Structure 1
Amino acid sequence: MYLRCSVSLAALAVLFSVAAVDGAVSTAGLQSTQCVSSSNSSDIYATKSTVKYATGFTIAYHNTYKVVENKTTNSTYVLYQCGSAKPSSVKDVSAYIPVPVNSSAAWATSAAIFLEALGVQNTVKNLGTAPSLVSACLQELLQDVITPFNDGNSTDTDHQEQSNDVVFNMPGGEDTNTTNTVYSTEYLESSALGRSEWVKFFGAFFNAEERANKLFDAIDTNYQCFASKADKEYNDIRPVIAWTSYAGPTQYNNNTAYWQISFADYKYDIVRDAGARMLNTTGKQSTMFSTSQAFLRALKDVDIIIDESFVSYNYSALMKNYGIADVKQATNYSWVATGRVFRPDRVQSTSGGLGWFEAPVAFADALLQDLVGVAHPKFAKDGYKPIWFRNLAKSDPVTVVTASNCTDMYAQRQDPAGVCASIDFQSANPSDSDYSDVEQSRTQDLIYDVSKSEVVNDGSLSSSSSSNPISVGFFVYSALMVAIVIATL
């Protein structure tokens, strides 16, 4: 079981503080909030968004409408100003959406956080995976304002979806056949900043380009500052990080356990930007090992483990699942000897939903700050406590977030990252215990050459095994959410 603890509002201030607007819904940063005449032909979008990092979407502006494309799903959405005529010149339109959107819905938790980051949660009528939402203010809205999708009744769900101007969903999600379904695939971006830039995608539906641009520019600037300082201070002492997991025997894998190392592209970039190195293998994007012995051989020179398993909630359980019966006899592994075993589950809802699948997607700078803190815990003069990562070896507690932690449910969600420019980065001290086994002057990723006999063959698991138990566990609340994690492994 998780170790839970009570927290005060003060302790959560950096995570869930919001700009005060006296409980009112602010219109600052929104443009073209009024409908126009059908004869209007002038350019009504003075503020436009341009895409810098994201590769999964584009936005093209015309006088009274915008064309938003999801490049991953080949979907085209025409957002036309309310009152204007639907443009007929755009081909293969997936959905026509009048803007600004007055009512919206979202199935995935990450999409919901983007709406909160834009401060347009006053438009949200329905949310999916409601029990897993960690956001304090969305939890409060779910008490009296927002209605969870009734995904147990398809008729009710269809009615709920059709009552909204737009429903943000993902490919393969539930009830995606409505005329107002819009696919968001931010989780497939190859960079952390690319994922965060999807705030511009969502902002286009609410004519909130000014808010989206301002927020992303601040995230980008802060991210580049963290990356630059980490590169300067830690170029010669970069610990190796491995993203790992264990999947016990279940119906999803033919009752055959396996151990996994993950190499999602965005993890590569952000680990390097944090002043660390990534463990890679000569196998596929995500390597599944058939035995714990083979798995542990791949981790021999790793300094830090970030475990994403569903089944290992505490240190002793994780060690057992990894095939280490006696921790005292496993000090030849740096990550064991130094006790640097983390899980991204520090922030949770009362039902066990993870904040890891919410704010880190929208706020790349905060995620980078956290990884700098994992790789170099003394980078800040007074030390750093990660927001989402907890150290299992040190029995870090879990922070449970409730609706009572919300101070203004209609304000924009603030970026939880610190202001990098005001942080005096501390240089790494090779004599520090955190770096006791780190190979110095190594800047390249660590490559482990896997043997075909050590890994799970493509055909050895059933087709359902693609629903990795990591995903099944973390997103047990909804089969919809499983797709997110599968895509990011």
Structure 2
Amino acid sequence: MAVAHSCSCCLQVVLLWAALWPALSLWTVALAATAVPAKLKAAPAPVVAGPVSRVEDARMFQIYYGRSFKVIKNSGDGKSYLLMQNTSKMAAKTKYCTGRIKSFVIPLANFSVDTTASPVSFFERAEWIKYLGTFTNSEDRANAVYDAIKRNYLCLSKAAANLSTRFKPIVAWIEYTQGMWTFVKESYALQYVTDAGAEIVDATITNKRFNSSDSEDMDNFHAILCTVDVVIDQTYALEPAEYKLSTFLENINVSHDSCFSFVSNRSIWRFDKRIGASGTLDWYDGAISQPQLVLGDLIEVFFPTGNYTTIYFRNLAKEEGVTEIGPEMCTRSMSAPMEPITLPCQ
């Protein structure tokens, strides 16, 4: 009987609860609506004052925008930067500076960036103009420059793809270091070759090193080069102007009258054509910021027309020398921003 009484009580409670539930539900919702403080309710998304940059291709930094501030997160060094607009109350009252975050009141009049490593792809490299633009509120300008560069690059790449339907040259991008020849494996260099309508030498053999003092090694190396139409030699030279065709042929142990296609067709190239006053290669400066010019060079290298003068690449086989660049070559005013160079493309 005790069990039956207990079950009866349980049933009464359940029925009572079911009867009261609609009213309780309405009361609970009303109570919740009045109990939540106004400051806890969802606030509308902040309206960002000023220009905005969206990161499209770069993977090593991100930009976050608030109403009167920006935060840049640099994945390369793990640091973040809080940029506060000089018109905001936040800028007057707040100063953050820790080991991982620094704050600046923007726009800055001038600043410098110290880089020890560069992103992998050329679009990633070029898009860092957006990173720099945030410090001076120049996002609109940075967006316009990057869009022009990317649009021109993609157009040139499409044009190169049409050229390669007839013939796709085989390219060896190689380097000579401490008596060893190797094939360059940097992904950005290989992508340049592909986008310019050519084909890199078989990737399955590029992991090997070839000792110039070992005859068997060099035989194997030469056997690979027999399949190559174009050679790009990125061997380091302390004095680039002194690195000539004879230097390359001696290092690779090949004669001037060799039957290699790249020798007979005179297609042996280096990217050290433009040299600054301090001896630095413009390849590591201008070429990084304007990859469309590199692509234009390589299209001419692979599909020569004779109507285009390369900017960064010089032809060793034709004894082409280097070009020394200096401030006197700059025709624009120092106060005028540099415009990206876009190559003709349809």
> How large is the RMSD of aligned CA atoms in angstroms?
2.6
1:77 to 78, 81, 85: 81
Instruction: State the partner residue of 1:376.
Output: 303
Question: 1:44/1:374 Cα in 2 relative to 1: closer, same or farther (>3 Å)?
Answer: same
The structure with more radius of gyration: 2
2:119 to 165, 180, 188: 188
Q: Is the 8 A contact 1:366 1:415 kept in 2?
A: no
Letter in 1 for 2:195: D
What's the CA shift for 1:188?
Answer: 2.1
Q: Is the 8 A contact 1:262 1:287 kept in 2?
A: no
Q: Hey, what's the Cα distance between the residues in 1 that align with 2:108 and 2:298?
A: 36
Question: 1:390/1:214 Cα in 2 relative to 1: closer, same or farther (>3 Å)?
Answer: same
1:278 to 194, 197, 200: 200
Instruction: State the partner residue of 1:265.
Output: 187
2:214 pairs with 1:290: no
What's the CA shift for 1:83?
Answer: 5.2
Letter in 2 for 1:343: R
Letter in 2 for 1:282: T
How many residues align? The count is 289
* Paired residue secondary structure (1:98): strand
What's the CA shift for 1:287?
Answer: 5.1
Instruction: State the partner residue of 1:396.
Output: 320
Instruction: State the partner residue of 1:103.
Output: 110
Q: Is the 8 A contact 1:345 1:390 kept in 2?
A: yes
What's the CA shift for 1:219?
Answer: 0.8
CA-to-partner distance for each residue in 1:41-78, whole Å, 9 max, x for gaps?
97454321111111121111111111112223322222
What's the CA shift for 1:343?
Answer: 0.7
1:415 to 340, 343, 346: 340
What's the CA shift for 1:409?
Answer: 1.8
Instruction: State the partner residue of 2:62.
Output: 58
Instruction: State the partner residue of 2:151.
Output: 221
* Paired residue secondary structure (2:319): coil
Higher relative contact order (CA 8 A, sep 6+): 1
Q: Hey, what's the Cα distance between the residues in 2 that align with 1:300 and 1:73?
A: 44
* Paired residue secondary structure (2:328): helix
Letter in 2 for 1:339: R
Letter in 1 for 2:335: Y
* Paired residue secondary structure (2:193): helix
Instruction: State the partner residue of 2:162.
Output: 232
What's the CA shift for 1:283?
Answer: 6.5
* TM-score calculated relative to the size of structure 1: 0.55
Q: Is the 8 A contact 2:49 2:67 kept in 1?
A: yes
Instruction: State the partner residue of 1:445.
Output: none
* TM-score calculated relative to the size of structure 2: 0.76
Question: 1:282/1:97 Cα in 2 relative to 1: closer, same or farther (>3 Å)?
Answer: farther
* Paired residue secondary structure (1:215): helix
What's the CA shift for 1:262?
Answer: 0.8
Question: 1:269/1:315 Cα in 2 relative to 1: closer, same or farther (>3 Å)?
Answer: same
Q: Hey, what's the Cα distance between the residues in 2 that align with 1:290 and 1:77?
A: 48
More helix by share: 2
What's the CA shift for 1:403?
Answer: 1.9
Letter in 1 for 2:194: R
Q: Hey, what's the Cα distance between the residues in 1 that align with 2:78 and 2:134?
A: 18
Letter in 2 for 1:235: T
What's the CA shift for 1:289?
Answer: 2.9
Q: Hey, what's the Cα distance between the residues in 2 that align with 1:416 and 1:288?
A: 38
Gaps of 5+ in 1: 1-40, 106-167, 172-184, 249-256, 422-489
2:176 pairs with 1:169: no
Q: Is the 8 A contact 1:369 1:417 kept in 2?
A: no
1:48 to 34, 47, 52: 52
Instruction: State the partner residue of 2:243.
Output: 313
* Paired residue secondary structure (1:230): helix
Q: Is the 8 A contact 2:96 2:103 kept in 1?
A: no
Q: Hey, what's the Cα distance between the residues in 2 that align with 1:242 and 1:411?
A: 40
Q: How does 1:296-307 map to 2 (within 5 A)?
A: 296-307=222-233
CA-to-partner distance for each residue in 1:372-418, whole Å, 9 max, x for gaps?
1111112xxx6211111000000112222222112212222232342
Q: Hey, what's the Cα distance between the residues in 1 that align with 2:83 and 2:208?
A: 41
Q: Hey, what's the Cα distance between the residues in 2 that align with 1:45 and 1:365?
A: 33
2:172 pairs with 1:242: yes
Question: 1:98/1:243 Cα in 2 relative to 1: closer, same or farther (>3 Å)?
Answer: farther
